[in-house]
Structure 1
Amino acid sequence: MTTTYKLALTLSTTMVMALIAGPVHAQEAPTETDAPFASTDIIVTAQKRAQNLQDVPVAISVVSGDMLERSNVNSAEQLFQRVPTLTFRKGNTNKDSALSIRGVGTISFSSGVEPSVSTVIDGVVYARTGQQTSDFLDVERIEVLRGPQGSLFGKNASAGVINIITREPENELGGYIDASWYEGNEYRIRGSIGGPLGDGVSASLTGFWSQFDGNGRNLFNGNKVNGYEHWGVRGKLIAEPTDTVKITLIADYSKNSDNGFADSIGTVFPSAFNNAVLIPSLAPLTLDGKNKDIDNDLDPYTKDKNSGLSGQIDVDLGAATLTSITAYRHWYNFQVRDGDFRSDSPTNVNTGTAAGDFLLHDLGDLKFDQFTQELRIASANPQFLEYVAGLYYYHTKEVDYFNRVVTTCTASTLPTVGGLTPCAPGSSTYVTNRGDADFTTKLTSYSAFGQLTANFTDALRGIAGLRYTEDKVAFDFARISTSTAAFPGVNPAFSASGSVKDNGWSGNAGLQYDVSDDVMAYGMYTRGYKGPALNVFFNMLARDTGGIAPEKADAYEVGLKTRLFDRRLTLNIAAFYAKYDNYQANFLDLVAGQVVTRLTNAGEVSTRGIEVDFNAAITDDLSLSGGFNYTDAHINKFICPAGAAITCADAINGKPLPFAPKYKGTVTMDWRLPLNIDGFNVDLNSSLVYQSKTNFDINQNPNAFQNAYAIWDAGIKVSTDDNKYSLSFIVKNLTNKQFVIQRIPNGTSFMRQITPRDAERYFGVTARMNF
């Protein structure tokens, strides 16, 4: 029995004993300071103003920063473990990652398209999913708004919003430092200090460093893969020169260096080429669904740098608050990748059975800049007509360079064996072709928005919102090639420039009724809009210059928000249906036999389901929280792109959207154990996440899926009564359940897969000091 397993068994045994002891403790009358998990109101800013979660007619999941820290959830790619309706698609690099809500999200390698799920941090929209894949830093809470948010958040929120709010400086000087170690040589150090700098001025400075060797290995050179080294810093300054003016300045910088995520080959399908060439080449690997290793002559590597400045000014006008948010952000991404997935290619003359035996290496970088300006006014509450209105400007510029090198063996003097002519330096002729592309994409957007809430009675309210958006996407593209014909993964030379313009309306309308002081019902219609796009990518051709039409959604939602049993139980239920027209999605295509992706208007898709969120203070020392959702997200009518090289069958219609499990649920328990140790507290936390079978491929490849799985985590925290010092122990994935978060078909040849950090059991410890 391993040490980790013994620790896991100890934790689970302790949990059972605590549950047995629980009723005795529940009968005690705890004081306020001894009630760490008593029911409290949750304040959110989902409608651009501070409101109680139970008063907002929107389906929202809220995850506190404390819960993220207890669960070792450190980035957006792990957040799906705490929000049932959220899924994360991990790409080979951060720029190719994507988030989905209720089964809907944009997956694309194009620089001319925006995400369907908007990420907002401290009021600033992050225009690309890859910008926010760094570690969470000093998070107060995360609000996940489910479904289109067309009125207040705009066009790149057609599936939902992840609204991240970081902590503000305290009124007194203080801070913390903590350090963590996890099995597998994973380390984390975080620290923060903040407080008043003078009359009406406070500030905080927060930083982190984290490192992980990786959960796989490149057998070619013995190097670890799927690891990282991240560090970053954020400073926040708040000045209140008068009682009516508040100024918030934020600056941040982070740097990520990742040796992955690597494409590990799982399943290889029988064929003449695979049997004769590929499978013998991959002999060092164990080719199955659990494989995390690679055998590449080029280690995967990704580097990201993110930085930004923002300034927010809030002016209290008495009857309303005027807010201005000005922000600039910069993102740099660099990546290298082995695209042939072997260390010995090419090994044979590229003909006959060995056709497709080539070396393929990729290198690329991007520089992305964005500027945003929001000006809005929000009425003071309460009054008959409450409103939020504003103007928004958004400009982005992305400059990309991408290089693909393909080497083949065209002739050899070595004797043919079994229908294959082997190649070796000195005896063979090698030909190297390369394609290089430089492209720039600019997006400019203007919008005006407003939302009214009419309080018809103390119990009945009507909500109506509207947003008008104008978009322009422009590009310059030039690809040069050493070949006049297409070769694997590279189209011939091509250059073009152009732009597309469009505009659209989005908005919402609904009713909200207070059945009682603790029960609120609502019904809402929302019109979603996602602007036009261009398929600007390495293999761009003339057919891609015409633009991708805007994506539009009609969404309906009814919900019930309740506080029961003297408000110790919060139980929220939502039922939804949404239909998306001109859905912007990726389709697998071929260029000279090599699989590439192509952005297209995929047609019509829809999603429907039921969601439940709950938070129960069983006692003042014991709480349960979590959620469950049933989601049926599927393709209604798929439109095959013109000239598709891969068969586009009607069989896609009616099939599920990728990254949309039908069932998903989470439950988390926090318990202050009744041990009565003088001067110390002992807290137990445990969580269970379940996800049903998930498909990863819109083309419905029968092997591109992950079976249903559940993950169980548990931890114990020992802290002093004053919470100055604490020591926490955590076991992730107690049952050692293996799973993947991506399976990618490489044509009909084999399946690649990406295995996350949490797909194995590991133990960790964190020491923390608050001051």
Structure 2
Amino acid sequence: MVSSKAKAYLTFTTALGLALIAAPAAAQDAAPQEAQADDSAFGGTEIIVTAQKRAQNLQDVPVAITVVSGDQLERANVNSAEQLFQRVPTLTFRKGNTNKDSALSIRGVGTISFSSGVEPSVSTVIDGVVYARTGQQTSDFLDVERIEVLRGPQGSLFGKNASAGVINIVTREPDDAFGGYVDAAWYEGNEYRIRGSLGGALSDGLKASLTGFWSQYAGNAINVFNGNRVNGYEHWGVRGKLIAEPTDAVKVTLIADYSKNSDDGFADSIGTVFSSAFNNAVFIPSLAPLTLDGKNQDIDNDLDPYTKDKNSGVSAQVDIDLGAASITSITAYRHWYNYQQRDGDFRSDAPTYVNTGTASGDVRSHDRGDLKFDQFTQELRLASTGPQFLEYVAGLYFYKTKEVDFFNRTVTACTASTLPTVNGLTPCAAGSSTYVTNQGNADFTTKLTSYSAFGQLTANISDDFRAIAGLRHTNDKVSYDFIRVSTSAAAFPGVNPGFTSSGSIKDSGWSGNAGLQYDLSDDIMAYSMYTRGYKGPALNVFFNMQARDTGRIDPETSNAYEVGLKTRLFDRRLTVNIAGFYAKYDNYQANFLDLVAGQVVTRLTNAGTVSTRGIEMDFNASLTDNFSLSGGLNYTDAHINQFICPPGAAVTCAAAINGKPLPFAPKYKGTVTMDWRLPLNIDGFNVDLNSSLAYQSRTQFDINQNPNAFQGAYAIWDAGITVRTDDDKYSLSFLVKNLTDKHFVIQRIPNGTSFMRQITPRDAERYVGVTGRVNF
């Protein structure tokens, strides 16, 4: 008998299938794209971006960029950077156990590290302010106008944090007219969202807005130890924006925001467990309540995973129009607090046996830690306005951060028992056994000071031909103080002995770009670009730091080449942008898996040389006034050219990984989105249908190429329908995510050769939702 839930799915998918069949036949030959930047999914709207620090038409910018509008994100229930990879083919997201350990990659290149002494390779910029850590940008998207994803090194204008690319997020400005909106959403699985905004003109030359959100999700997994749900969250936040224009030539923008995240995870569930004496006798029987396979997302932990984040900041942007040029100053301060806890032994009953022989390593391990991160940034730039022979952007940038960390790992072992030995194992129980607890506590502070000067010139040699050159010089200083206190003079599982150290490193480097741009016609532009990337020096400051980790991690440099074609065809109803690229990174800063007393840890190192090459296509096709297709497709070959094993590594690294793919770098990714205003001719109402498909090929998660640390190819299909009034005041939307109920993971972590841990995202199962919105 078919359940009512199954009938609902069947009805919806049948309706969707009929709608697709009825769609204009021309749609069958079109493929993916660059999103519209306004609220309309239809028509040939011009897309304005600020990828070169000034407003320009997307088709005039000699940079590979994917643009996704806030309206598209809302329709697809894409609410954070974690889900953005579903809409941008060249972007991948590495989810850590906490937001602190998450990372973004573009074209297969990104920085994955637990060290506080290294910066990301993908820069996140929100309203002109650089977010110095990926973990800062983990809250829900709030009132987004558009997201620009700039692919490849962007060192001239965005600096050393952009050696792989930039995610430039622009939020909506207050309207001149007073108004706002409220929307509320429910999604299957007890997920709720509420958002609202209010704003408009307060007086002549002064307008403001206040936007807030609250969201909650119960979680997609269960801790079988206590029945609690995990991988859920509760998030809330608020942003205020005030814009003053005292004269026609001066604009002042003040922004303040605060958000708080409480997450039950993300939990490491155990996937595949490999046969060994310890696993067969201890580990597998301990996890009997779980189904140990590639689809398991439940856990059996005596300590629930938990993460808490608080993000806040203020910024002031002043724009002054001088006529032939403009001055922009952006001053910003941000604070980030993160707390984390996790069960490091992945079991609820450890230790079960005396820690000897086959049961060696049978210990209970719990982790707790927090960090406080502060940053101050100041950017001052001068840019030409209006067309002229030499167009320019020049500026100065200052950047200072301080991170204060505390981390505790507590490990308990059973050292003796009066209970009888069975099959060579001596069981432990309270009252009959001796338990010994050791712990390590680390306090460390990391500071970074950086300043740079930059500029970019565009020479308009003719109406159709331009030459571009940019240069940036960056000076960096990284310093640290570290102390770890241990209750044991020897290493015990996951904890090195006590250690104290302090030090600093300095370096400087050049980044820049040079290229040519030629308009083949009013609607076709070709460009070629060389880019020199630079990412500053780093230090491997982390909980298990020891003497071998005090040396400098050399700056990461890159040489990148890109050629592209941007086209508008068929009366500008079809936009197709193509880019081919190659980039080589030297002294690549990457994580390497290592061991401390048999427990897996990670170490930051100059991993050697890696390269990435490929071809990308974005498109937007407005096939009729009421039907459009958009999307993107890319082929990326990101691989290790030559890996350098870090000195003193306990884990063997073999030259066999040379030529192998970089982690989180699928060769093929693609998205296609359909928007169709149904021709129902209902007086007073419009009905819009949208559907999207995202595909990615096999993805390896481990730089050491563990044969089990991968996710096979998969595709995710979403669909929705919206009914709205003609005046757009009221709307009601229905959504189905992951229509085919395709399971996938976004992370698999090898625990040595013993077992695989994995992280399963929210969207790895089918669910439905409904959103209602009122604009006023």
TM-score tier, shorter chain, comes to over 0.9
Whether 2:360 is the aligned partner of 1:393: answer no
For the residues of structure 2 that align with 1:48 and 1:35, how far apart are their CA atoms? 25
For the residues of structure 2 that align with 1:410 and 1:361, how far apart are their CA atoms? 18
For the residues of structure 1 that align with 2:108 and 2:4, how far apart are their CA atoms? 39
1:418 maps to: 423
What is the one-letter code of the residue matched to 1:407?
A: T
Whether 2:18 is the aligned partner of 1:17: answer yes
Deviations, residues 425-465 of structure 1 (Å, cap 9, x unaligned): 11111000000000000000000000000000000000000
Q: Cα offset for 1:22? A: 3.9
Deviations, residues 441-491 of structure 1 (Å, cap 9, x unaligned): 000000000000000000000000000000000000000000000000000
Specify the SS of the correspondent of 1:700.
coil
What is the one-letter code of the residue matched to 1:541?
A: Q
Q: Cα offset for 1:6? A: 3.2
Q: Is the 8 A contact 1:106 1:585 kept in 2?
A: yes
2:290 maps to: 285
1:528 maps to: 533
Q: Which of the numbers 144, 148, 151 marks the counterpart of 2:153?
A: 148
Whether 2:517 is the aligned partner of 1:516: answer no
Q: Which of the numbers 121, 124, 149 marks the counterpart of 2:126?
A: 121
For the residues of structure 2 that align with 1:476 and 1:24, how far apart are their CA atoms? 65
For the residues of structure 2 that align with 1:269 and 1:61, how far apart are their CA atoms? 42
Specify the SS of the correspondent of 2:124.
strand
What is the one-letter code of the residue matched to 2:9?
A: A
What is the one-letter code of the residue matched to 1:11?
A: F
What is the one-letter code of the residue matched to 1:673?
A: L
Equivalences, count: 765
RMSD: 1.3
Q: 1:434–1:36: structure 2 CA closer, same or farther, 3 Å change rule?
A: closer
Residue correspondence of structure 1 range 637-676 to structure 2 within 5 A: 637-676=642-681
2:449 maps to: 444
Q: Which of the numbers 65, 84, 87 marks the counterpart of 1:82?
A: 87
What is the one-letter code of the residue matched to 2:143?
A: D
Q: 1:335–1:34: structure 2 CA closer, same or farther, 3 Å change rule?
A: closer
What is the one-letter code of the residue matched to 2:538?
A: A
Q: Which of the numbers 725, 733, 737 marks the counterpart of 2:730?
A: 725
Whether 2:137 is the aligned partner of 1:138: answer no
2:30 maps to: none
Q: Is the 8 A contact 1:21 1:674 kept in 2?
A: no
Q: Which of the numbers 253, 271, 276 marks the counterpart of 2:258?
A: 253
Q: Which of the numbers 190, 196, 219 marks the counterpart of 1:191?
A: 196
Q: Cα offset for 1:749? A: 0.6
For the residues of structure 2 that align with 1:634 and 1:274, how far apart are their CA atoms? 33
For the residues of structure 2 that align with 1:461 and 1:144, how far apart are their CA atoms? 23
Whether 2:2 is the aligned partner of 1:8: answer no
Specify the SS of the correspondent of 1:8.
helix
Q: 1:354–1:627: structure 2 CA closer, same or farther, 3 Å change rule?
A: same
1:182 maps to: 187
For the residues of structure 1 that align with 2:170 and 2:520, how far apart are their CA atoms? 31
What is the one-letter code of the residue matched to 2:243?
A: I
2:480 maps to: 475
Q: Cα offset for 1:547? A: 1.1
For the residues of structure 2 that align with 1:713 and 1:10, how far apart are their CA atoms? 15
1:265 maps to: 270
Q: Which of the numbers 544, 563, 578 marks the counterpart of 2:583?
A: 578
Query: Gaps spanning 5+ residues in structure 2: where?
Result: 28-37
Q: Is the 8 A contact 1:690 1:710 kept in 2?
A: yes
For the residues of structure 1 that align with 2:559 and 2:193, how far apart are their CA atoms? 44
Q: Is the 8 A contact 1:436 1:481 kept in 2?
A: yes
Q: Cα offset for 1:652? A: 1.0
Q: Is the 8 A contact 2:41 2:628 kept in 1?
A: no
What is the one-letter code of the residue matched to 1:292?
A: Q
Q: 1:232–1:439: structure 2 CA closer, same or farther, 3 Å change rule?
A: same
Specify the SS of the correspondent of 2:161.
helix
Residue correspondence of structure 1 range 210-359 to structure 2 within 5 A: 210-359=215-364
Specify the SS of the correspondent of 1:330.
strand
For the residues of structure 2 that align with 1:203 and 1:503, how far apart are their CA atoms? 41
Deviations, residues 42-74 of structure 1 (Å, cap 9, x unaligned): 000000000000000000000000000000000
Q: 1:19–1:743: structure 2 CA closer, same or farther, 3 Å change rule?
A: closer
Q: Is the 8 A contact 2:41 2:675 kept in 1?
A: no
Specify the SS of the correspondent of 1:528.
strand
1:30 maps to: none
Whether 2:772 is the aligned partner of 1:740: answer no
What is the one-letter code of the residue matched to 2:307?
A: T
Deviations, residues 301-360 of structure 1 (Å, cap 9, x unaligned): 000000000000000000001000000000000001000000000000000000010000
Q: 1:445–1:34: structure 2 CA closer, same or farther, 3 Å change rule?
A: closer
Whether 2:511 is the aligned partner of 1:506: answer yes
For the residues of structure 2 that align with 1:643 and 1:183, how far apart are their CA atoms? 50
For the residues of structure 1 that align with 2:197 and 2:40, how far apart are their CA atoms? 26
Q: Is the 8 A contact 1:260 1:301 kept in 2?
A: yes
Q: Cα offset for 1:14? A: 2.4
2:35 maps to: none
Deviations, residues 724-744 of structure 1 (Å, cap 9, x unaligned): 001000000000000000000
2:597 maps to: 592
Runs of at least 4 residues of structure 1 off by over 6 A?
none
Q: Which of the numbers 377, 382, 385 marks the counterpart of 2:382?
A: 377
Q: Cα offset for 1:24? A: 11
Q: Cα offset for 1:7? A: 3.3
Q: Cα offset for 1:18? A: 2.8
Q: Cα offset for 1:21? A: 4.0
Q: Cα offset for 1:12? A: 3.0
1:755 maps to: 760
Q: Is the 8 A contact 2:39 2:69 kept in 1?
A: no
2:572 maps to: 567
For the residues of structure 1 that align with 2:80 and 2:684, how far apart are their CA atoms? 34
For the residues of structure 2 that align with 1:580 and 1:588, how far apart are their CA atoms? 21
Deviations, residues 714-768 of structure 1 (Å, cap 9, x unaligned): 0000011111001000000000000000000011110000000000000000010
Residue correspondence of structure 1 range 534-549 to structure 2 within 5 A: 534-549=539-554
Deviations, residues 392-422 of structure 1 (Å, cap 9, x unaligned): 0000000000000000000111110001000
For the residues of structure 1 that align with 2:317 and 2:40, how far apart are their CA atoms? 36
Deviations, residues 244-287 of structure 1 (Å, cap 9, x unaligned): 00000000000000001000000000000000000000000000
What is the one-letter code of the residue matched to 1:421?
A: T
Deviations, residues 88-131 of structure 1 (Å, cap 9, x unaligned): 00000000000000000000000000000000000000000000
What is the one-letter code of the residue matched to 1:16?
A: G
Whether 2:52 is the aligned partner of 1:37: answer no
Q: Cα offset for 1:4? A: 4.4
What is the one-letter code of the residue matched to 1:148?
A: P
Q: 1:414–1:606: structure 2 CA closer, same or farther, 3 Å change rule?
A: same
Identity percentage over the alignment? 83
Specify the SS of the correspondent of 2:157.
coil
Whether 2:552 is the aligned partner of 1:552: answer no
Q: Cα offset for 1:681? A: 0.6
For the residues of structure 1 that align with 2:345 and 2:201, how far apart are their CA atoms? 56
1:455 maps to: 460
What is the one-letter code of the residue matched to 1:489?
A: G
Q: 1:463–1:411: structure 2 CA closer, same or farther, 3 Å change rule?
A: same
Q: Is the 8 A contact 2:330 2:378 kept in 1?
A: yes
For the residues of structure 1 that align with 2:572 and 2:477, how far apart are their CA atoms? 49
Specify the SS of the correspondent of 1:389.
strand
For the residues of structure 1 that align with 2:290 and 2:547, how far apart are their CA atoms? 41
Q: 1:620–1:34: structure 2 CA closer, same or farther, 3 Å change rule?
A: farther
For the residues of structure 2 that align with 1:433 and 1:192, how far apart are their CA atoms? 51
Query: Gaps spanning 5+ residues in structure 1: where?
Result: 27-32
Q: Cα offset for 1:381? A: 2.0
Q: Cα offset for 1:5? A: 3.9
